[in-house]
Amino acid sequence: MSEKQVFTLRQVAQSIQRVISERYQQSYWVQAEMFKLNYTAKGHCFPELVHKEEGKVLTEMRGTIWNAAFQRISKSFAEVVKEPLRDGMNLLMLVRITFHPVYGLSLEIIDIDPTYSLGELQKEREETLKKLKAEGIINNNQLLDFPLLPKRLAIISMESSKGFQDFRTLISHNQQGYKFVYRLFPSQLNGDAAIPSIIGQLKEIEKLRQHFDVVLIVRGGGGEIGLSCYNNYELSKAIATFPLPVLTGIGHSTNVTVSEMVAYRNAITPSDLADLLLRVFRDFDVSIQDLARELRNSSVQQLQEQKTALKQESRSFKFVSEALLQQNQHELKSLRISLLQESKWLFQQANNELGQIRQRLQSQTKFASRAQLQRIAYLRDNLRKSVRAHMQDSYQLVEDSKFYLLQEVPKYIARQEDELKYIRRNLDLVDPQNVLKRGYSIVLNSDKRLLSQNQPAVGDALEIINFDSVIEGKITQIKKSHG
């Protein structure tokens, strides 16, 4: 039997390294997703590269970008794509296949083609637009009614953002003195982290939407780097379907993002967004001034027309009044003569009737007076009898009550005194001093009584209080009681 040929692990690794270096001497362009960048403190990167199909990872390899190469690649990439290298990007990379005895197989990344990534980002933008159009919601936010004066602002931004500072300065110190009320909802504004952050703040604003007129997304001072997040479908949908008008000012001049396209209105910079709001107020102000001027001119014209009409009416009224007055004077004279004659006749007739009534009244008054005197005497006698009987009944009731009180009150007082004595005896029985006298003790643990929530432990100091002494001790053992 021949002897087995044995190799060390190092020999095997060196053999693999030699074969790979001889076989893969040139570099290759490889398309893969940078699943995780893995940037180190020394400036090197060891990205995890994957190949996916239908969301499943079919291939995974380790990559390497040395410090110098990473600085060159990341700078060139950001200048073209307007985005930094980040996790989850699909990249076209120039790589060299290497094998290290310790670190194993990896792809050393020499360069990255930024134009390929630019196409991928544009593809994401077009897919987002396609989805929103298919769902019929791309113009939803733009169809909302814009408030007449958007005074109450919900602002999604960062307190430290230069764009937010510029926006706040412009609306707070405008020359016209227009007043705005705003609340800041802090959020990430760049990169992938901005997507869940902005969506989360939109949800918070929706809970308080009755307190706001519009929502502003304000970003500035960062150029166009990190703007691809605003092409994300979920973020764009959240803006498009938001129940309040959304206005954006995210600080760039080219390649309008999908989020800006679906927003009610977008401005290039936060300063332009502030000017847009101030312009709404100025336009309203001008329209009010125009209406006031038109109202003033119309009022003057109406007043002049009314004055002219009043003069004409006054002349006509004077002519008609004089004619009516003259006619009424003749009629009044005739009525006065007729009234005097008729009054004399009526007066004479009324005087005769009054004499007859006086005679009947005198005879009836005498009869009524006698009847009333008799009735009054009868009522007076009845009243005296009733008062005397009532007083007699009341006196008897008072005497009965007096007798009852003299009999029952002493008995009631005696019963209450017996109850007090019984209560006093019970209190003496539970008096702590009397309990201690009967041989009982009080045990304290850390100045507190032993209760279910104050269980002692081995080593705790105890105080045992008797009637005539206090004993201090320490717990050395605790035994469970079985009742």
Does one domain contain both 161 and 269? Answer: yes
Question: Which of 284, 304, 323 corresponds to the end of one domain?
Answer: 284
Instruction: Return all residues near 34 (Cβ < 8 A) that are at least 6 apart.
Output: 47, 48, 49, 63, 85, 86, 87, 88, 89, 90, 91
Q: How many CB atoms lie within 10 A of CB 353?
A: 9
Predicted pLDDT of residue 162: 86
Predicted pLDDT of residue 35: 82
Name which of 119-128, 195-204, 254-263 the model is least confident about: 119-128
Name which of 131-135, 364-368, 416-420, 470-474 the model is least confident about: 364-368
Average of pLDDT values for 314-323?
Answer: 77
Task: Mark residue 356 as left, alpha or beta (left: phi above 0; alpha: psi -120 to 50; beta: remaining).
Answer: alpha
> Cα separation of 176 and 180, whole Å?
12
Please say if the pLDDT value at position 483 is more than 60: no
pLDDT per residue over 70-81, tens digit each? 999 888 888 877
HEC states along 91-118? EEEEEEEEEECCCEEEEEEEEECHHHHH
Which range marks the domain in which residue 439 is found? Answer: 435-474
Does one domain contain both 441 and 407? Answer: no
Does one domain contain both 171 and 263? Answer: yes
Please say if the pLDDT value at position 169 is more than 60: yes
Average of pLDDT values for 393-401?
Answer: 74
Predicted pLDDT of residue 161: 84
Answer yes or no: are the C-beta atoms of 86 and 117 closer than 8 Å: no
Average of pLDDT values for 181-207?
Answer: 91
Predicted pLDDT of residue 229: 83
Please say if the pLDDT value at position 243 is more than 90: yes
Does one domain contain both 97 and 215? Answer: no
Please say if the pLDDT value at position 142 is more than 60: yes
CA dist 208 to 180, 201, 229, Å?
17, 11, 25
Q: Single out the residue of 207, 168, 170, 173 nearest to residue 184, CA to CA.
A: 168
Domain presence at residue 440: yes
Predicted pLDDT of residue 453: 67
Does one domain contain both 280 and 148? Answer: yes
Does one domain contain both 154 and 200? Answer: yes
335 SS3 class: helix
Both tokens assigned to 123: 């593809």
CA dist 327 to 317, 319, 417, Å?
15, 13, 106
Domain presence at residue 320: no
Does one domain contain both 450 and 399? Answer: no
Does one domain contain both 47 and 178? Answer: no
Does one domain contain both 223 and 245? Answer: yes
Predicted pLDDT of residue 370: 67
- % of residues, the chain, pLDDT over 90: 22
Domain presence at residue 308: no
> Cα separation of 40 and 353, whole Å?
130
Does one domain contain both 168 and 264? Answer: yes
- % of residues, the chain, pLDDT over 70: 92
> Cα separation of 400 and 396, whole Å?
6
Domain presence at residue 29: yes
Predicted pLDDT of residue 1: 56
Confidence of residue 199 (pLDDT cuts 50, 70, 90): very high
Question: Most distant CA pair in the chain: distance in Å?
Answer: 174
Answer yes or no: are the C-beta atoms of 85 and 37 closer than 8 Å: yes
Please say if the pLDDT value at position 14 is more than 90: no
Predicted pLDDT of residue 338: 76
Average of pLDDT values for 338-348?
Answer: 76
More confident residue, 191 or 195: 195
Domain presence at residue 304: no
Confidence of residue 399 (pLDDT cuts 50, 70, 90): confident
Both tokens assigned to 95: 């790589």
Domain presence at residue 443: yes
Domain presence at residue 365: no
pLDDT per residue over 90-138, tens digit each? 888 888 888 888 878 889 998 888 877 667 777 788 889 899 999 999 9
Q: Single out the residue of 200, 189, 261, 199 nearest to residue 227, CA to CA.
A: 189
Please say if the pLDDT value at position 187 is more than 70: yes
Average of pLDDT values for 210-214?
Answer: 95
Domain presence at residue 97: yes
More confident residue, 370 or 420: 420
Question: Which of 268, 284, 300 corresponds to the end of one domain?
Answer: 284
Q: How many CB atoms lie within 10 A of CB 34?
A: 24
Q: Between the ranges 20-29, 322-331, 375-384, where is the mean pLDDT highest?
A: 20-29
> Cα separation of 131 and 81, whole Å?
24
> Cα separation of 264 and 239, whole Å?
9
> Cα separation of 104 and 100, whole Å?
5
Does one domain contain both 274 and 183? Answer: yes
Average of pLDDT values for 130-148?
Answer: 92
Does one domain contain both 51 and 153? Answer: no
Question: Which of 249, 269, 284 corresponds to the end of one domain?
Answer: 284
Predicted pLDDT of residue 113: 84
Q: What is the mean pLDDT of the chain?
A: 83
> Cα separation of 47 and 63, whole Å?
5
Q: How many domains does the chain have?
A: 4
Burial 184-215 (b: 16+ CB within 10 A, else e): bbebbbbbbebbebbbebbeebeeeeeebbbb
Provide the CATH number for the domain around residue 88: 2.40.50.140
Confidence of residue 418 (pLDDT cuts 50, 70, 90): confident
